Amino acid sequence: MDLTQLANLGEFIGGVAVIASLIFVGAQIRLNAKAVRQSSTHNAIETWAGMNEMLAKDAQLAPLVVTVMRGGPQDIDESEFSRISFFLRAMCMRLEAEYFLFRRGSMEEELWRKHLLLSRSMIRTPIGARRCTESA
C-alpha cells in the first residue's frame, strides 16, 4: 500500500468517525430532551402535590377551598377572602410556570390541560370571579 492509498483510507475512516460522532450527539440530544421533559413533568406534579399537602395540613384553608370549589357562599369574611385570594394567586402562578414549560415543549400536553381545567374550575366559581374582578 502506497502513501496515497493510506491517505485515502485515513480520509475514509475520518469521514466514518465524523458520521458516527454526529449520530452519537443526536442520540444524546434526544435523551437530554426526554430527561428535561420528564423532570419538568415531575416538578409540576410535585408542585400541585405540595398545594394539596398544604391544604391537608391547614384545617382552616382546606374547608374554605372545598366550599369555593363547590360554588359555596359568596358572603365570606375579609380574612377568608384574603386567604382564598392568596391561594388562587399561588395556583395561577404555578399554572403560568407550567404554561411556559408547555409552550417550549418541556411539558406534556395532557398534564398541562389537566391542570388548566382544574385552575379554570376554581377561577370560574363565584368567589374566584370576585377575586379576579376586585384585583383587576
**Dihedral of alpha carbons 46, 49, 53, 59, sign:** positive
Q: Match 388562587 to its residue by C-alpha cell.
A: 88
Q: pTM of the full predicted structure?
A: 0.68
| DSSP-derived 3-state class of residue 110 | helix
Once rounded to an integer, what is the mean pLDDT over residues 22-29? 94
Residue 71 falls in which region: left (phi positive, over 0), alpha (psi -120 to 50) or beta: left
Check whether 120 has a pLDDT greater than 70.
yes
**Cβ(55)–Cβ(61) below 8 Å:** yes
Three-state DSSP string of 37-56: HHHHHHHHHHHHHHHHHHHH
Can you give the residue ranges of every domain in the chain?
Answer: 38-134
CB under 8 Å to 99, separation ≥6 — which residues? 112
pLDDT tens digits, 70-112: 877 667 888 888 888 888 888 888 888 999 989 988 888 998 9
